[in-house]
Structures are given as structure tokens and as C-alpha cells.
């Protein structure tokens, strides 16, 4: 997976089965990735990246996170033509297959990066995953893709420490629950709070051997580019430097954009580009560039498409702090920001950064 000059490539995973997981009128529907993939094709990015095949995740890897009873219940529901796991989370007739491929695609991308076949990547698959618990799907999520991939890296990829960064506007409660007592995973989450699913208080830091390896950054509505920049610079960077990850996985939710209909944050596309640039710099410095994104939320279709586009431009090296311009048809947020000073002080104290 190198180009003609032997340069390691940026990889992506996509399979059209994700289009079969859809429900008319639901915010998490096939149109999310349809428009995104069309934009990436129009801008010529897909042709510059290596396509990693999505295959169904194996039952062994799936069961490291989810109970066999839950997996079987999803399969049976899909075979009956579909239904709901909860009021928010639907299953269509091919949703089970799509969910297996979404998790399997991310595992395949992580494998390609760990085996040196790609330098970084983005799993452009649905359904999302970070809310899914061991025995329960919720919050539009069926299987927890990022947790499954982290377990794969630890169990089979020769990795001892994984950093998971979740910047979705909703707390990744399923991911937190999976690694609550696990010192090999540092879970860092920025999210609107209090908001769905109600978890992610700053005092939730893990337990047992994993105490201190959960860092929640619960944000009041209205935090935007300045606040997120400070959080990544003053909190995430020193935590990552202390933890020394060998792989960084990103639950990339783009629903903290100021125009997203399901939340109240004020990030712009430029703000999202900065987060991607920071994570790339972090991976380059700490873990030989090993960085893999996976799609979570984002429900303003144009904001989602351009956020993914700019993220991939960062991974490809087109968009750095020194060169390139962020593609942003929506512009900056015109409203003032909620400050994060007090929260940062609290978190620096809790996580022994002062």
C-alpha cells in the first residue's frame, strides 16, 4: 500500500452495504455518507488513497466486546425484517451485516496500519458505534467499532497502549464502559454535558488498575474553536505524552459543528481541521504516525461532508498549519463562546497535570 515512490499511503475503508442500513426520517440514515462519498470523489481524494476492504468482523473479535446473546438478538431482529433496539436505535433487514462490516472495516484498517501497509486511515462506514454497550445497542449504535478495534490491537496487533480520542458531541459511554478498568487504554472524550446519554462527568476517571485512564471533558453548550483548541493543547497533549500510546484511534463525530441540528456546540470546520492536525502531529510524535479515524455522529450533511474532506486532507498532508486552506462553505460561528477556564483547572487537578 505504497505509492510509486515507496511512500506509505493514507487508507480508507468503505463498502456500499452501509447504504442498506437506513430508516427514512431518522437522522442517522444513508444520506450521511452518500453526500460525503460524492464530495470526496468530486475532489479527487478517493483516487489518492488506498481502499482497504471491509469484511465482517469475526465472532471472536466481536465477542471481546459484546455478549453472544446480544449479537444473536441483533441478527434475529434483522432476519425478521428489522425493528428497534431502543426508541433511538433501529435495525433494518441488512443492518446486522452492515454493523459487522463497519466493525470489521475498522479492524482491517488498524491491521493495515499496524502491519506497516498504510500510515493512517479513516473508516468511512456506518452504523456508528461508541454508545453500544456489552449487551445493548443505543444512541444509533449497534456494535462498538472503536472498542472492538482497540481490543484487536491489544490482543493481536502487538500493541500495549492505545489512546482513544472521542470528539463526538455525545459522550462515548459504551467505549468508557468497555475500558473502565483497563490501564492499557486511555479514553479521552469531549462532549456536551449534561446531554445524551447522561454519562461523562469529569469525576468519571475509571476504576481499579484503570483509574486515571478515563478523561472526560464535559462541556456546557456554546464551546467552540477556542475552547476545543485549549482542551487539546493543554489537556490532551500532556496526557498523551505521559501515556505514550502506540496507536491512536479517533471516534470522529462531527456533530459539535455550530450548525448541527442535534446539539448546541460552536465548532466550525476550521476548528475540526485543527483537531485533526493536532491528532496527526500527536501520532507522528508519539506512535510513528499510527492514527485511525472512524465515523461516529454528524447530522448536518454539508458540515459532515466537508469535515471529513478536511480531515482526509490533513491525513494526506494537503492541509497543515503551514499550508493549505480549510474548505468551509458554512463559515465561522457568529456567536460568542462559552469559556472553559474553570473546567480545565478542575481536570488538570484531577489528572495531576498541575
pLDDT of 189 above 80: yes
Q: 317-344 pLDDT, tens per residue? A: 999 999 999 999 999 999 999 999 999 9
User: Please, what is the angle between helix 31-42 and helix 301-316, to 10°?
Assistant: 40
Selecting among 21, 131, 170, 171, the annotated active-site residue is 131
Share of residues in the chain with pLDDT > 70 (%): 98
Is residue 130 part of the annotated active site? The answer reads no
Averaged pLDDT, 48-76 = 98
- For the chain, which domains are there? 10-350 (3.40.800.20)
Averaged pLDDT, 288-295 = 98
Averaged pLDDT, 197-216 = 98
The label of the residue with cell 479513516 reads: 122
Q: How confident is the model at residue 354 (pLDDT cuts 50, 70, 90)?
A: confident
Average pLDDT over all residues of the chain: 96
The C-alpha atoms of residue 128 and residue 339 are separated, in whole angstroms, by: 30
- The pLDDT, as a whole number, for residue 1 is 46
pLDDT of 7 above 50: no
What value, to the nearest 5°, has the Cα angle with vertex 22 and ends 20 and 24? Answer: 135
Closest CA to 145 of 269, 279, 253: 253
The C-alpha atoms of residue 172 and residue 216 are separated, in whole angstroms, by: 10
Please tell me the pTM assigned to this model.
0.97
Averaged pLDDT, 264-273 = 98
Q: How confident is the model at residue 5 (pLDDT cuts 50, 70, 90)?
A: very low
Q: How confident is the model at residue 8 (pLDDT cuts 50, 70, 90)?
A: low
Q: 138-158 pLDDT, tens per residue? A: 999 999 999 999 999 999 999
Amino acid at each position: 500500500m505504497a505509492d510509486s515512490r515507496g511512500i506509505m499511503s493514507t487508507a480508507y475503508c468503505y463498502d456500499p452495504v452501509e447504504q442498506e442500513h437506513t430508516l427514512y426520517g431518522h437522522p442517522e440514515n444513508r444520506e450521511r455518507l452518500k453526500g460525503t462519498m460524492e464530495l470526496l470523489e468530486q475532489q479527487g481524494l478517493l483516487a489518492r488513497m488506498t481502499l482497504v476492504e471491509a469484511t465482517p468482523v469475526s465472532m471472536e473479535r466481536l465477542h471481546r466486546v459484546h455478549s453472544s446473546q446480544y449479537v444473536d438478538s441483533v441478527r434475529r431482529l434483522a432476519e425478521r425484517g428489522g425493528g428497534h433496539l431502543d426508541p433511538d436505535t433501529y435495525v433494518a433487514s441488512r443492518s446486522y451485516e452492515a454493523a459487522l462490516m463497519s466493525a470489521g472495516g475498522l479492524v482491517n484498517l488498524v491491521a493495515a496500519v499496524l502491519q506497516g501497509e498504510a500510515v493512517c486511515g479513516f473508516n468511512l462506514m456506518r452504523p456508528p458505534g461508541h454508545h453500544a454497550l456489552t449487551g445493548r445497542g443505543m444512541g444509533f449504535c449497534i456494535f462498538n467499532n472503536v472498542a472492538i478495534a482497540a481490543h484487536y490491537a491489544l490482543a493481536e496487533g502487538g500493541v500495549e497502549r492505545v489512546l482513544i480520542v472521542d470528539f463526538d458531541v455525545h459522550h462515548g459511554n459504551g467505549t468508557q464502559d468497555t475500558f473502565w478498568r483497563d490501564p492499557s487504554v486511555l479514553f479521552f472524550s469531549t462532549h456536551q454535558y449534561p446531554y445524551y446519554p447522561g454519562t461523562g462527568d469529569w469525576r468519571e476517571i475509571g476504576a481499579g488498575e484503570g483509574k486515571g485512564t478515563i478523561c472526560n471533558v464535559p462541556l456546557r453548550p456554546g464551546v467552540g474553536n477556542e475552547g476545543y483548541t485549549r482542551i487539546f493543547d493543554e489537556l490532551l497533549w500532556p496526557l498523551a505524552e505521559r501515556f505514550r500510546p502506540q496507536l491512536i484511534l479517533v471516534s470522529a463525530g462531527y456533530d459539535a459543528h455550530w450548525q448541527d441540528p442535534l446539539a448546541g456546540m460552536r465548532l466550525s470546520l476550521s476548528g475540526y481541521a485543527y483537531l485533526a492536525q493536532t491528532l496527526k502531529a500527536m501520532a507522528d510524535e508519539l506512535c510513528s504516525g499510527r492514527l485511525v479515524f472512524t465515523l461516529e455522529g454528524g447530522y448536518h450533511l454539508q458540515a459532515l461532508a466537508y469535515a471529513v474532506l478536511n480531515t482526509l486532507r490533513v491525513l494526506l498532508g494537503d492541509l497543515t498549519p503551514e499550508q493549505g486552506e480549510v474548505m468551509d462553505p458554512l463559515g465561522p460561528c457568529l456567536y460568542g463562546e462559552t469559556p472553559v477556564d474553570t473546567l480545565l483547572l478542575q481536570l488538570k487537578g484531577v489528572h495531576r497535570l498541575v
